[in-house]
C-alpha cells in the first residue's frame, strides 16, 4: 500500500494578507520545541509505519518550512528517514519561500535527499507582492530558482496566483513568461480567494484594495489554461500543470483516495477511511506531545455518503476523473447506482463527460468545478 507523509511547519516571517491557514508570525521562540515535538511524534509512529510499508511521497509544507533554522529542518528530515520506510523512488518535496532561502539552504536540503522544491512565487510584480503581504521581490524568486538548480535540483515547482489586487492580464502573462524563463518543471496556478477574517478581506471591505473584475479574472484563468500546455505543461488537475513525468505524486495522492499521515500542528491524516486533525496551534500541539499524548483528534464521523462525495469531488479535480473500478472496489456499488441523476444533469449542462473507465469534467466543467462538486454532495 502506498501512502503519503505530510509535515506541517506553522511558522512564517510574516503572514500574507490573504492567508487564513494555520501559520503564525512572531513565534520564533517556539521553533526549537516544535521541532522536538515533531521528531517525537514521528518516532512514536515508527512501529505502526514499519508495518504499513514504504511511503511513496513526503511533503514538508507550511507556513514556511524554510523559516526554521536549517539544523532543525535537518533534524526533522533525519527523523523521517530513520523512522518511516520510504520507497526508493519516493518524491520528497519541501516548500521554499523566496526571501527565506539561500544557496546553502538549498544545498543542505538536496544533500539530505529532498528531491523536489516548491517555490511560492505568486507573481513577479513587486508592487503586487508587497500589496498581498509577501516578503520577497521578483529578484528573490529568480535567485531561489537559480540556487535550487545550482544545488542540484532538477524538479522545481512554482506556485503562481491570478486575480490578485491590481493584477492585470499583462502582469499575469509576464509572470508566466518569467516562470518559463526559469525553466521550472511544474506550475500550480491558483485563483485568489478572499477568506473571512483575513486582512485582505477587511481591506477590500474598507475599499482600500480592489480586485480585478470577474470578467478580468476569468480571462486570466482562460489564459493560464490555454497557454501553459503549448509550453509543454500539461494540465493534470484543475490548478496543476506539469512537464511530462513531473506531476506531483504527493498531491495526486490527495485526489485519488490514497492514505496519508500528517505530522505537526493542524496536520491532517487520512488512514483506513478515517480522517483526523492534529491540534491546531503550535502551543497546543507541543503541550500534548510533551504530555505524551496523541495530538490527533478525529474529525466528525464520516458517513458512506460523505465518503462517496469526497471520493468523487477529489477525483474529479484530476484530468483523468473518477475511476469507476476504484469506486466500485471502495464502495461495493457502481457510480451510476448512486449518482445517475447527478451525472445526467451535469452532462446536460455540458460539465461532465464519461467513458467506460472514467467520469471526468469537461473543460467547461473544470471552470465550473464547484457546481459539479456540489452536485456530488448527497
Partner 1 sequence: MQTKNIRNFSIIAHIDHGKSTLADRLIENTGTLSQREMEAQVLDSMDLERERGITIKAQTVRLNYKAKNGETYELNLIDTPGHVDFTYEVSRSLAACEGALLVVDATQGVEAQTLANVYMALEHDLEIIPVINKVDLPSADPEKVKKEIEDVIGLDASDAILASAKTGIGIEDILEAIVERIPAPHGDDDKPLKALIFDSYFDAYKGVIAHVRLMDGKMKKGTKLKMMATGKVFDVTEVGCFRPAPVEVSELASGDVGYVAGSLKNVRDVRVGDTITTEENPTPEPLPGYRGVTPMVYCGLYPVDSADYDSLKDALEKLQLNDAALVFEAETSLALGFGFRCGFLGLLHMDVIQERLEREYKLKLITTAPSVIYHVHKTDGTMIAIDNPAKLPTPQEIDFMEEPFVKATVIVPNDYVGAVMQVSQDKRGEYKSMDYLDVNRVMLTYHIPLSEIIYDYFDILKSTTRGYASLDYELADYQPAKLVKLDILLNGEPVDALSTIVFADHAAYRGRQLAAKLKEIIPKQMFEIPIQAAVGSKIIARENVRAFRKDVLAKCYGGDISRKRKLLEKQKEGKKRMKAVGSVEIPQEAFMAVLKIH
Contacts with partner 1, 317-336, as mask; x by CB under 8 A: --------------------
Give the C-alpha separation, 200 to 133, whole Å.
9
Q: How far is the CB of 189 from partner 1 (least distance, A)?
A: 10
> Which DSSP symbol is given to 318?
B
What is the DSSP annotation of 225-282? HHHTGGGT-EEEETTEEESTT---HHHHHHHTT--EEEESTT-EEEETTEEEEE-SSH
Query: Residue 256 contacts by C-beta under 8 Å, 6 or more apart in sequence?
Result: 314, 315, 318, 323, 326
| Residues numbered 296-315 forming contacts with partner 1, rule: CB under 8 A | 299-300, 306, 309-310, 313-314
Question: What are residue 263's DSSP bridge partners?
Answer: 7
What is the DSSP annotation of 70-102? HHHHHHHHHHHHHHS-EEEEEEEEEEE-TTS--
The interface region with partner 1, picked from 79-87, 96-104, 141-149, 184-192 by CB under 8 A, is: 184-192
Q: How far is the CB of 334 from partner 1 (least distance, A)?
A: 22
CA atoms within 13 A on the CB side of 231: 23
Radius of gyration of the chain (CA): 21
What is the DSSP annotation of 40-58? HHHHHTHHHHHHH--EEEE
Q: How far is the CB of 114 from partner 1 (least distance, A)?
A: 18
CB nearer to partner 1: pick between 246 and 260: 260
252 binds partner 1 (CB under 8 A): no
Q: How far is the CB of 2 from partner 1 (least distance, A)?
A: 15
190 binds partner 1 (CB under 8 A): yes
| Residues numbered 198-237 forming contacts with partner 1, rule: CB under 8 A | 214-215, 217-218, 221
339 binds partner 1 (CB under 8 A): no
CA nearest to 70, candidates 17, 111, 26, 127:
111
- DSSP-based three-state secondary structure for 198: coil
349 binds partner 1 (CB under 8 A): yes
Kind and range of the H or E run holding 113: none
| Residues numbered 124-163 forming contacts with partner 1, rule: CB under 8 A | none
| Residues numbered 51-70 forming contacts with partner 1, rule: CB under 8 A | 61
Q: How far is the CB of 220 from partner 1 (least distance, A)?
A: 10
CB nearer to partner 1: pick between 151 and 322: 322
Backbone angles phi, psi at 359, to 5 degrees: -120, 120
The interface region with partner 1, picked from 83-91, 144-152, 179-187, 266-274 by CB under 8 A, is: 266-274
Q: How far is the CB of 298 from partner 1 (least distance, A)?
A: 11
Count of residues that interact with partner 1, criterion CB under 8 A: 44
270 binds partner 1 (CB under 8 A): yes
Instruction: Candidates 54, 85, 191, 199: give the one binding partner 1 (CB under 8 A).
Output: 191
Using CB atoms within 10 A of its CB, is residue 154 exposed (0-12), middle (13-18) or buried (19+)?
exposed
User: How many C-beta atoms surround the C-beta of residue 293 within 10 A?
Assistant: 10
Q: How far is the CB of 111 from partner 1 (least distance, A)?
A: 26
Q: How far is the CB of 49 from partner 1 (least distance, A)?
A: 17
The interface region with partner 1, picked from 29-37, 38-46, 112-120, 267-275 by CB under 8 A, is: 267-275
- 18 contacts 204 by C-beta, under 8 angstroms: no
Dihedral, 235, 241, 247, 248 alpha carbons, nearest 10:
-120
Q: Which residues would be at the binding site for partner 1 (CB under 8 A)?
A: 4, 6, 8, 21, 61, 188, 190-191, 193, 214-215, 217-218, 221, 238-239, 251, 254, 260, 262, 266-270, 275, 277, 299-300, 306, 309-310, 313-314, 349, 366-371, 373-374, 377
Amino acid at each position: 500500500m502506498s501512502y503519503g507523509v505530510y509535515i506541517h511547519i506553522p511558522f512564517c516571517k510574516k503572514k500574507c494578507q490573504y492567508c487564513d491557514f494555520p501559520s503564525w508570525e512572531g513565534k520564533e521562540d517556539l521553533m526549537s520545541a516544535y521541532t522536538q515535538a515533531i521528531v517525537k511524534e514521528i518516532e512514536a509512529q515508527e512501529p505502526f509505519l514499519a508495518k504499513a510499508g514504504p511511503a511513496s511521497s513526503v511533503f514538508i509544507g507550511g507556513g514556511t518550512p524554510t523559516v526554521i533554522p536549517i539544523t532543525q529542518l535537518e533534524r526533522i528530515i533525519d527523523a523521517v528517514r530513520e523512522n518511516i520506510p520510504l520507497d526508493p523512488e519516493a518524491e520528497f518535496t519541501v516548500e521554499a519561500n523566496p526571501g527565506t532561502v539561500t544557496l546553502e539552504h538549498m544545498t543542505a536540503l538536496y544533500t539530505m535527499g529532498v528531491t523536489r522544491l516548491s517555490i511560492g512565487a505568486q507573481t513577479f510584480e513587486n508592487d503586487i507582492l508587497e500589496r498581498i503581504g509577501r516578503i520577497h521581490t521578483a529578484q528573490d524568486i529568480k535567485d531561489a530558482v537559480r540556487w535550487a538548480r545550482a544545488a542540484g535540483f532538477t524538479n522545481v515547482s512554482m506556485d503562481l496566483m491570478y486575480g490578485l489586487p491590481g493584477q492585470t492580464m499583462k502582469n499575469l502573462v509576464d509572470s508566466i513568461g518569467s516562470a518559463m524563463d526559469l525553466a521550472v518543471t511544474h506550475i500550480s496556478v491558483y485563483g485568489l480567494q478572499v477568506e473571512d477574517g483575513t486582512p485582505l478581506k477587511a481591506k477590500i471591505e474598507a475599499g482600500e484594495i480592489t480586485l480585478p473584475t470577474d470578467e478580468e479574472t476569468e480571462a486570466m484563468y482562460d489564459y493560464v489554461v490555454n497557454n501553459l500546455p503549448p509550453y509543454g505543461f500539461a494540465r493534470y488537475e484543475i490548478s496543476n500543470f506539469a512537464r511530462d513525468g513531473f506531476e506531483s505524486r504527493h498531491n495526486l495522492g490527495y485526489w485519488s483516495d490514497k492514505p496519508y499521515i500528517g505530522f505537526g500542528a493542524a496536520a491532517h491524516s487520512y488512514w483506513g477511511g478515517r480522517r483526523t486533525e492534529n491540534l491546531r496551534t503550535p502551543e497546543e500541539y507541543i503541550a500534548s506531545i510533551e504530555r505524551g499524548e496523541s495530538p490527533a483528534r478525529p474529525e466528525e464521523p464520516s458517513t458512506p455518503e460523505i465518503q462517496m462525495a469526497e471520493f468523487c469531488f477529489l477525483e474529479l479535480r484530476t484530468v483523468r476523473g473518477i475511476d469507476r473500478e476504484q469506486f466500485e472496489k471502495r464502495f461495493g456499488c457502481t457510480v451510476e447506482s448512486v449518482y445517475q441523476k447527478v451525472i445526467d444533469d451535469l452532462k446536460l449542462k455540458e460539465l461532465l463527460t464519461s467513458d467506460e473507465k472514467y467520469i471526468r469534467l469537461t473543460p467547461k466543467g473544470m471552470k465550473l468545478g464547484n457546481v459539479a462538486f456540489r452536485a456530488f454532495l448527497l
